Structure 1
Amino acid sequence: MKISEHIDALRREGVLLADAAGRTDLAAPVPTCPDWRLRDLVLHTGQVHRWATAYVVHGHRAPVDADGERAAWGPEPSDAALVDWFREGHAALVEALGAAPDDLDCWSFLPAPSPLAFWARRQAHETAVHRFDADAAAGAEGPRVSTALALDGIDELLRGFMARSHTRVRSQRPRTVLVRATDEPGSWLLTVSREPLAVEPVDGPAELTLTGPAHELYLLLWNRLPLDRAHAEGDRALLDLWRETAVIR
């Protein structure tokens, strides 16, 4: 996806998240994040937006410390002001990304063509997944993300987050999982072993094959949908392994 497409997705998903929060009691539980109430979700996502904006605007070349994070977040809003506070931070992030130069030089933490491409992509998916959480708290599944965004998000999760050295998706003996979208071309062959997850963007035989629409695979792999929302052939114990270990902190 192009940077402009990620920014457009970020804009759309942030508006939808705020709209869901605006019509729902902020004390409502978030079924997809059992430890959170809706206010926690909105506060977290709003803080992430402000944190990301600081890198884009100020060009920090290393991770900011706790004081720097608090400075980026600003004072914590009251419940009455929370949704408007979220909208302001979301709009500022969209504006900052849209105005940033192509050669933006700042810290990032996943492989990407450029820091600007990283931040636009990461914040689009951060917001899209949490928008689904907000809709779950509101009690109604919102509109699906585009197939292109879902495929891109699967790729970021598998080849970005889950391939990092400190992730917990491991197995004492090598195991293989194939993830294949059914609505547009998109396949990922995963090898789970004692080493960090190995991912190849190819089709091929595996001990477990997961197939389904990209949107549902996207949310399932982010542990937002029940495992039965995708068609699974093979060793279903690997689904349990994923659900237990594929956690982003």
Structure 2
Amino acid sequence: MTTSPPPHGQLGHDRFCDEIVAQTRLLTGQLAEADLTATVPTCPEWSVRELAQHVGRAHRWAEAMVRTRATAALPEDQVPGRAPADDAPATLRDWLDEGAGRLARTLREAGPDAACWSWAWQQDAGFWARRMTHETAIHRADAALAAGAGYDVAPEIAADAVDEWLRIVRFVQDIDARDSAQELKAGGRTLHLHATDTAPEAAAEWLIELRDEGVVWRRDHARADVALRGPLTAVLLAFYRRAPLDSGDVEVLGDRSLLEFWLERASFG
């Protein structure tokens, strides 16, 4: 059986709004014991503090975009709520929680179909609810990896994050002829992602085809040139380039070089 994801993702608008708050609280909980000056290995240009500030700024930027029904990208100096200068972890945690709550309230009031600018294929509040959920969940993984802490995410969130990432890659292929994602137009070669820990009725599997016109995919169990298998969280982290393929948490079957080719070229834009 194959399925196509709905335009605003699998979870629904209200759930995304809930998750922005919930994922932020999990992130702020990690900051309590973290060394805020430590380098984030998966985002080496940032310290843990800078990672947290990036998330908080993204929340506030998206909130301003939706609240004002922006028709173009808002400059940062028009977005209220700069990151605190106070180095106290509690101050940073409060700032993050406040921004996430404000964003969720604005998104709920707007509804998913409210028109506003985005950088992507959808120009509406529903895009921002989904994007900020996964932005927060993945950066929470970055913070956990920096602290050497465990990380897990609900299977429905992880699965939708894979769907969204694939859509981003195709979007970049469609709009930017210079991006490395163009090299993924590779004559029909195929990849299979297979989560081994989900129930049959909630199976998380994807068949990804690298067609000449661009990447296409569907939720499906099918043979491919290469397969990435493991628990869903581990598959997500490997596919998002947050964990190495030789971590021991996933296995690669078939043409490993094709999967590496994908990971080197899949782009956020």
Shorter-chain TM-score tier: 0.7 to 0.9
> Which residue, out of 249, 255, 259, partners 1:235?
255
Match of 1:244 in 2: 264
**Is the partner of 1:197 in helix, strand or coil?**
strand
> Which residue, out of 130, 139, 146, partners 2:139?
130
Are residues 1:178 and 2:187 paired? no
Cα deviation 1:41-69 (Å, max 9, x = unaligned): 011111111110011111112223xxx22
Contact 1:227 1:239 in 2 (8 A): no
Match of 2:4 in 1: none
Match of 1:162 in 2: 169
Q: Which moved more, 1:201-210 or 1:118-127?
A: 201-210
Distance 1:171 1:3 in 2: 31
After TM superposition, give the deviation of residue 145 of structure 1 in Å.
Answer: 1.1
Contact 2:112 2:125 in 1 (8 A): yes
> Which residue, out of 102, 109, 115, partners 1:99?
109
- Taking a change above 3 Å as real, the CA distance of residues 204 and 43 of structure 1, as seen in their structure-2 partners, is same
Distance 2:32 2:107 in 1: 25
**Is the partner of 1:34 in helix, strand or coil?**
strand
2:22 aligned partner, one-letter code: R
Cα deviation 1:149-194 (Å, max 9, x = unaligned): 1111111111x11112235232474221111223131332222355
Contact 1:211 1:217 in 2 (8 A): yes
1:160-239 pair list within 5 angstroms: 160-164=167-171, 165=173, 166=176, 167-169=179-181, 170-171=183-184, 173-174=186-187, 175-182=189-196, 183=198, 184-192=202-210, 195-228=213-246, 229-239=249-259
- Taking a change above 3 Å as real, the CA distance of residues 40 and 59 of structure 1, as seen in their structure-2 partners, is same
Match of 1:72 in 2: 79
**Is the partner of 1:40 in helix, strand or coil?**
helix
> Which residue, out of 25, 36, 60, partners 1:26?
36
Match of 2:161 in 1: 153
The runs of 4+ residues in structure 1 deviating greater than 6 Å are none
TM-score by length of 1: 0.87
1:236 aligned partner, one-letter code: R
Distance 2:192 2:148 in 1: 32
For structure 2, the residue ranges without an aligned partner over 5 or more in a row are: 1-10
Distance 1:233 1:74 in 2: 48
Contact 1:168 1:246 in 2 (8 A): yes
Give % identity: 36
2:180 aligned partner, one-letter code: R
User: What's the C-alpha RMSD, in Å, of the aligned pairs?
Assistant: 2.2
Are residues 1:45 and 2:55 paired? yes
**Is the partner of 1:52 in helix, strand or coil?**
helix
Distance 2:236 2:17 in 1: 19
Distance 2:24 2:95 in 1: 12
Distance 2:169 2:194 in 1: 17
Cα deviation 1:8-58 (Å, max 9, x = unaligned): 221111011112123212101112222221111011111111110011111
After TM superposition, give the deviation of residue 4 of structure 1 in Å.
Answer: 1.2
Number of equivalenced pairs: 243
Contact 1:154 1:217 in 2 (8 A): no
